[in-house]
Structure 1
Amino acid sequence: MSEVKTPTPTPAGDTYKGWVFKWTNYIKGYQRRWFVLSNGLLSYYRTQAEMGHTCRGTINLATATIAVDDACNFVISNGGAQTYHLKASCEVERQRWITALELAKAKAARMQAESDDSGDDFSPSSASVPPGQGGGTQNSEVQSTLRTLGSKVEDLSTCNDLISKHGSALQRSLSELDSLRLTGEAGDKIRQVTERATLFRITSNAMINACRDFLALAQAHSKRWQKALQAEREQRVRLEETLEQLAKQHNHLERAFRGAAQANTAADSKGSAGPGKGEASDEDDDNEFFDAMEEAPEFITVPADPQFHKRSSSNISGFNSEMGPDDQSLNEEPLTINQESPSQELAPLKKRRTRIPDKPNYSLNLWSIMKNCIGKELSKIPMPVNFNEPISMLQRLSEDLEYHELLDKAAKCQNSLEQLCYVAAFSVSSYSTTVHRTGKPFNPLLGETYELDRRRESGYRSLCEQVSHHPPAAAHHVISDRGWTLRQEITVASKFRGKYLSIMPLGTIHAIFEKGNNHYTWKKVTTTVHNIIVGKLWIDQSGEIDVVNHTTGDRCHLKFVPYSYFSRDVARKVTGVVMDKDGKAHYVLSGTWDEKMEFSRVMQSSRGGENGTEGKQKTVYQTLKAREVWRRNPLPEGAETIYFFTDLALTLNEPEEGVAPTDSRRRPDQRLMEDGRWDEANVEKQRLEEKQRSVRREREREAASQRTSSQSEEGAPHDNYKALWFERCEDRITGEQVHIYKGGYWEAKERGSWEACPDIF
């Protein structure tokens, strides 16, 4: 029994090394690799020499599962991200690895639990002391318990060593017995095996008794420790909440102080009798549109001197030669032009629908579909309708007209700078419908069209056509009886980045007004869909827009501030400045792209001190009181069950007589999805896409047979497709190759003549 009292120096299971066959792929099959088990981590290398510099992979056994396949195979996995299919040279070797792995896993899990407890700032010596009581006796008791538990753990470790040692000896003896023939030595060998088996049994019993004692002690103290730990965690939560409240109060005080300091500094720099300290603090929220924060804004706005509110513009030095009658009216009273709603001029011919069928409660994991599509174009990913909304991209583009009244008002403006404010507000308003709309619109089929005839209700007619499929491009043309035309061709480039999805609209938007022949252009900003993998999807808009009047040279620079968790600014913030061709600021715009926009008349501007980042000076604008130019319409009741559609969006897919056969309203998969028949919609969607691909292949074959050497130059179209209602030409303003409406659609509708329309559905 002297052998029993001598443990091995290194506990078995702490470190284990050896060659194991690992499955690589179907071509190479199992390959021999050197595996090392140490500190709860299983690592492997191609050779022993690689141990010093190149590890091929590691699994943390604390969270891993170990499964046995057959006599020699076993599998180790940590939940799907890593899985090792291994094969030992024999069953005995496989059992050795399984034993070592299980012991290492148990120890790693125990260490991880201890680490988690220490991470909660839980001290066993203090946790057992109830609140309000002395800790001397309790601390001594806990320390004594810990020493006893430590002794039992050492006993377990010793028994574990002995079991490993005697088990190996017993296994060798059994192997020798198995290889012997029936000779005289058999009796001696059998007796030897019996002795070692008895020794092994005695050691096992000792280990079981030590485990039983350990368990009894752990159960006796577990409830008290759990209670103390819960008290500590609750106290930590209370401290975190208190700290958060203090941070918010500090933030509010800092903003108020900074706003007051900026207002006083700007007023003092001009020597004007500006508002006092108390006034600046009270009006900080109304007048400080551009906060001097981490974003380092280019300018700051402060209330204008009271003299600008009381005196006529003709008596103000420096402004009498630059401000016309229209400017003077802006200073003395709110804008009243076109306050009547154009939609009330003519009653609608039909009552539009106000509801669609509720969205079915289908559950589908977006990550399971998109994890293999990282870096690909979104238009090339086969997506089920479960991620769509029952509306096409052409209809979504027509939603830009949700606030067409802004263009109606702009068309009646006498002042081009004031008109630019309305156009800029219109460019922002198109994003208000996206704040909750995480569903993906249907990709239009090539040749698909969508008309939105609101001439009697709102004075405009809109037509969209899908003019290209790769890359996807839609041409849009709107003509209004109230003096404006809107046209655009949008190509959507999108990339899936793993955690988020970036959607970059490419193309220029044109707004042309009959009065003054003012021609404005701008582009769209980047849309980002966050939390693709986990969490709730949310959308952000970020980037900059330059709305340019090519007739007068006026310009409005808008900045969509990206959301930041650490920013003190309001979320979804948009800022802008309207300047003339000489760069002089006339209006300041501020608001959010999901709620409202306001604009203020700039009375004076000056360069502030070098208080920006990198020593840059910021412009200080003294402005009149802000006036609202646009506000988002409220969503219908129960919008969350109808895809968060607006009142306009609910009517876009409403069946209508007399539209073209290629109109999105006639698309069968989209109609089935709207009706809640998603399984049928998925089947129909696949049929339409395959039909489109076959037509495309046929068109490419025809183009290849007709293509001449001059047509095969780089940049020539790969097929001979031409849009039906739009023609490709060079835009005279931007120089871009765009599709512009060539006419004929509304005349064909009046005649009911759709022979030229392709069969796409």
Structure 2
Amino acid sequence: KSYIRLFNVRPWSKYYWVALEGTEAAGLVAADGSGRLDGELKRPGLSNSVGRSSLSPRAGVMSEPKAPTPTPGDTYKGWLFKWTNYIKGYQRRWFVLSNGLLSYYRTQAEMGHTCRGTINLATANIAVEDSCNFVISNGGAQTYHLKASSEVERQRWITALELAKAKAVRMQAESGESHIAESIHQCKCDDRMYISTLRTLGNKVEDLSTCNDLIAKHGSALQRSLSELEGVRLGGDAGDKIRQVTERATLFRITSNAMINACRDFLALAQAHSKRWQKALQAEREQRVRLEETLEQLAKQHNHLERAFRGATVLPASLANTPGDSKGSVPGKGDVSDEDDENEFFDAMEDVPEFITVPADPKRSGSNVSGISSEIGMDEQSPQEVEPVRKRRTRIPDKPNYSLNLWSIMKNCIGKELSKIPMPVNFNEPLSMLQRLSEDLEYSDLLDKAAKCQNPLEQLCYVAAFSVSSYSTTVHRTGKPFNPLLGETFELDRVKESGYRSLCEQVSHHPPAAAHHVISERGWTLRQEIALASKFRGKYLSIMPLGTIHCIFEKSNNHYSWKKVTTTVHNIIVGKLWIDQSGEIDVVNHCTGDHCHLKFAPYSYFSRDVARKVTGVVSDKDGKVHFVLSGTWDEKMEVSRVMQSSRGGGGENGTDGAGTGALEEEPTSIVIWGIEREFLPRQTMYYFSSLALTLNEPEEGMAPTDSRRRPDQRLMEQGRWEEANAEKQRLEEKQRSVRREREREAARVAGPTEDGTHQDNYKAQWFERTEDPNTGEVTHIYQGGYWEAKEQGSWGTCPDIF
């Protein structure tokens, strides 16, 4: 038994392990374990048949199982376990190796119609992790972590993959040489010189690749042998170990010298022809840029046509799925056949272990979380059902179809702030910004459950889900809300239905800012001041909310704060309007130091990922991750407990760049929040949710500054848009005249400022401007008195704004 060097096979200068028994070659495989020699070994005195067996590169001896031979047509098939995500782990998949391509399917039946993924082995790297695991990657775009059922099965796959890769590389090199030769011939250049140079360069590159692989593998084998030698005591096996190390070192030295010589030759040729290759590369780059631009235009046209088709048809049936169906397709999430395992969500299993001590409300969640209610105490934790005192309305007048020349209005508005653009009501929806801000309470039951949590980390999960749920009503809401007038208010009294009272007031007009305060009888308080910075960019409109949201729980005294993400309205000029949310949210517990980092992934037409995806991790003050959140901001959020985590830089299969290192999650997760599937928003009613339909409903005892008393908004809801436009202009002019009078009064009392302008000394009616003790921001905090004034009907201090 020995290593021999065969010069009549490709690749050249590659060593093979040969075991001679009598007159037959019992085994002939690559010395590095990467492949075997196909064909017959012919030598005088030896048999022509060659037995093939695999070599364990770690031990350096022949192993018993035979390496597989691919089926006719270089095709190899079989079952492997593929890593999907931390929730489901390894899943059994059917893999097919054919013509240098490795493809996989969920079942064998899918081979005829649905391929889940493919890697070209010509540019792929194959790495062995342990006895049964190996990794195939093509440079970062695709990485498959695979596991075989046994070490023998893994070695069979590695052998087949190495053979297929070598053949694919040869075919690619030959086709590349042929294509380059034809191109040079067409350009009427010196054919012989270029073809000879290209062939020489190709051979040198192949030598470099082969030597590089051998150096890496022999180096690893040498390192293992040296490690084994260090642990060997002086005895009978010491001589064998030293002899083995010597052979490995000799091979490594020979290969290194060959690589150095090849590098020297390659460098000389590269320097001689570098300028020509740079010009050719620049031409190829320019052509690639042109092709990418053309492809992007085609993709945008396809996207526009697809959205136009969806808008012209009825709503997809997936929105009408039953609450327990979580596998139905979702509009705008791509074709199911193109989705990988990472793009799927599953409901929680009924035998899930104890996780979060407060159960999700099955009426809201839209999934089968009731299956775990018996284990975590549904009867003990559920809030008591209270019948509403009045029946709220369930519809509003249908939206009329008015035509409008959008470009004639928008062409002079590029770069201006949205609040300073005179917009007709044709772009609006019959709600004010104060009412849209109150829609954040659509899923206030999440805060009710959070108030009952004993564990602050579990409470943080519900608060994070609440921060995501506020965007669920915006997925189709492309209409612009009315800009509130200065001093305008909106109250939302839902004590008997949901246990809370909400009050909003417009506290500033330039820049526009609204203060919001919510007090709940179920143990929590919510306050925020949101100012909108918006810019029109021609093709899209960016809305950047400024300000911080605070949530305080009475029982635990935990104080949470977070900010909103950026909202983008696309296709402003041409195409169908659509909404996207992007950015990051950090929910911080100022009492314990715990925090949750949420990432809203922006939509990309070329991405295979789930549309409107949100991921996040919940960590303690030391940075240790305890929970992982995943889902979409328009449908649901799932949460799973982390059983083990390691600090580090994160990774592709980690936590989406959260910087928490490798995470090991529980195999099951629960749906902590889901949209209200019982209600289908209709396009003719501005895609309002069930709560939004009731926000502009008149009630007795409203303040004279309440948004429901605003005449232009009421006229628009009734479909009288021309009258609404005239009333809107009247209100805005009245507001300007009041402001000018206020500035003149301020100038008479205090005089003008240094720059010659007049200071607006407006003070809010129900909120007081002060500094927040936790964030240090100057904000407006509710000072009380509104609900007392409503009980007494005393509105004498309210300004006349309508």
**TM-score interval, normalised by the smaller of the two chains:** 0.5 to 0.7
Matches of 2:543 and 2:131, distance apart in 1: 40
Partner of 2:444: 404
- 8 A Cα contact 2:357 2:453, kept in partner: no
Matches of 1:643 and 1:263, distance apart in 2: 56
More helix by share: 1
Report the Cα offset of residue 368 of structure 1: 2.2
Partner of 1:479: 519
Aligned with residue 649 of structure 1, among 685, 692, 698: 692
Aligned with residue 562 of structure 2, among 522, 528, 545: 522
Secondary structure of the residue aligned to 1:757 is coil
Alignment of 1:676-715 (within 5 A): 676-707=719-750, 712=753
Larger deviation, residues 411-420 vs 333-342: 333-342
Partner of 1:719: 760
Partner of 1:184: none
Alignment of 1:361-510 (within 5 A): 361-510=401-550
Alignment of 1:24-39 (within 5 A): none
Report the Cα offset of residue 573 of structure 1: 0.2
Matches of 2:131 and 2:592, distance apart in 1: 31
Matches of 2:601 and 2:380, distance apart in 1: 33
Q: Deviations over 1:634-671 (max 9, x none)?
A: 37456111000000000000010101000000000000
Matches of 1:557 and 1:262, distance apart in 2: 33
Q: CA 1:247 to 1:554, structure 2 compared with 1: closer, same or farther past 3 Å? A: farther
Q: CA 1:448 to 1:609, structure 2 compared with 1: closer, same or farther past 3 Å? A: closer
Q: CA 1:700 to 1:423, structure 2 compared with 1: closer, same or farther past 3 Å? A: same
Gaps of 5+ in 1: 1-244, 256-260, 280-284, 287-299, 304-308, 314-322
Alignment of 1:623-634 (within 5 A): 623-624=665-666, 625-634=668-677
* TM-score between both structures, scaled by the size of structure 2: 0.54
Q: Deviations over 1:435-492 (max 9, x none)?
A: 0000000000000000000001110000000000000000000000000000000000
Matches of 1:386 and 1:426, distance apart in 2: 32
Alignment of 1:575-614 (within 5 A): 575-606=615-646
- 8 A Cα contact 1:437 1:643, kept in partner: yes
Q: CA 1:610 to 1:451, structure 2 compared with 1: closer, same or farther past 3 Å? A: closer
Secondary structure of the residue aligned to 2:801 is coil
- CA RMSD, aligned part only? 4.0
Report the Cα offset of residue 524 of structure 1: 0.2
Aligned with residue 347 of structure 1, among 387, 409, 415: 387
Matches of 2:688 and 2:385, distance apart in 1: 25
Amino acid aligned to 1:545: I
Amino acid aligned to 1:346: V
Partner of 2:663: 621
Matches of 1:248 and 1:369, distance apart in 2: 49
- 8 A Cα contact 1:342 1:408, kept in partner: no
Matches of 1:433 and 1:641, distance apart in 2: 15
Matches of 1:364 and 1:717, distance apart in 2: 39
Q: CA 1:609 to 1:731, structure 2 compared with 1: closer, same or farther past 3 Å? A: closer
Partner of 1:741: 782
Secondary structure of the residue aligned to 1:424 is helix
Secondary structure of the residue aligned to 2:662 is strand
Partner of 1:544: 584
Matches of 1:563 and 1:505, distance apart in 2: 19
Matches of 1:622 and 1:535, distance apart in 2: 44
Alignment of 1:274-289 (within 5 A): none
Amino acid aligned to 1:515: K
What percentage of aligned pairs have identical amino acids? 72
Matches of 1:263 and 1:609, distance apart in 2: 23
Matches of 1:587 and 1:654, distance apart in 2: 41
Amino acid aligned to 1:537: L
Q: CA 1:339 to 1:570, structure 2 compared with 1: closer, same or farther past 3 Å? A: farther
Report the Cα offset of residue 723 of structure 1: 0.2
Gaps of 5+ in 2: 1-109, 121-125, 135-144, 151-325, 328-341, 346-350, 360-368
Partner of 1:206: none
Matches of 2:671 and 2:678, distance apart in 1: 20
Matches of 1:462 and 1:609, distance apart in 2: 42
- 8 A Cα contact 2:133 2:146, kept in partner: no
Report the Cα offset of residue 364 of structure 1: 1.3
- 8 A Cα contact 2:650 2:661, kept in partner: no
Partner of 1:40: none
Alignment of 1:82-97 (within 5 A): none
Secondary structure of the residue aligned to 1:684 is helix
Q: Deviations over 1:4-60 (max 9, x none)?
A: xxxxxxxxxxxxxxxxxxxxxxxxxxxxxxxxxxxxxxxxxxxxxxxxxxxxxxxxx
Secondary structure of the residue aligned to 1:409 is helix
Report the Cα offset of residue 525 of structure 1: 0.2
Secondary structure of the residue aligned to 2:467 is helix
**Which structure has the greater CA radius of gyration?**
1
Partner of 1:197: none
Amino acid aligned to 2:634: D
- 8 A Cα contact 1:264 1:277, kept in partner: no
Q: Deviations over 1:66-103 (max 9, x none)?
A: xxxxxxxxxxxxxxxxxxxxxxxxxxxxxxxxxxxxxx
Is 1:732 aligned to residue 773 of structure 2? yes
- 8 A Cα contact 2:681 2:689, kept in partner: no
Secondary structure of the residue aligned to 2:725 is helix
- 8 A Cα contact 1:264 1:276, kept in partner: no
Report the Cα offset of residue 606 of structure 1: 3.8
Q: CA 1:497 to 1:638, structure 2 compared with 1: closer, same or farther past 3 Å? A: closer
Aligned with residue 612 of structure 2, among 558, 572, 583: 572
Amino acid aligned to 1:622: E
Q: CA 1:522 to 1:324, structure 2 compared with 1: closer, same or farther past 3 Å? A: closer
- 8 A Cα contact 2:538 2:572, kept in partner: yes
- 8 A Cα contact 1:511 1:520, kept in partner: yes
Matches of 2:469 and 2:356, distance apart in 1: 29
Amino acid aligned to 2:609: D
Secondary structure of the residue aligned to 2:591 is coil
Q: CA 1:470 to 1:757, structure 2 compared with 1: closer, same or farther past 3 Å? A: same
Q: CA 1:268 to 1:513, structure 2 compared with 1: closer, same or farther past 3 Å? A: farther
- 8 A Cα contact 2:528 2:547, kept in partner: yes
Q: CA 1:629 to 1:610, structure 2 compared with 1: closer, same or farther past 3 Å? A: closer
Secondary structure of the residue aligned to 2:798 is coil
Amino acid aligned to 2:562: W
Secondary structure of the residue aligned to 2:436 is helix
Amino acid aligned to 2:556: G
Amino acid aligned to 2:664: Q
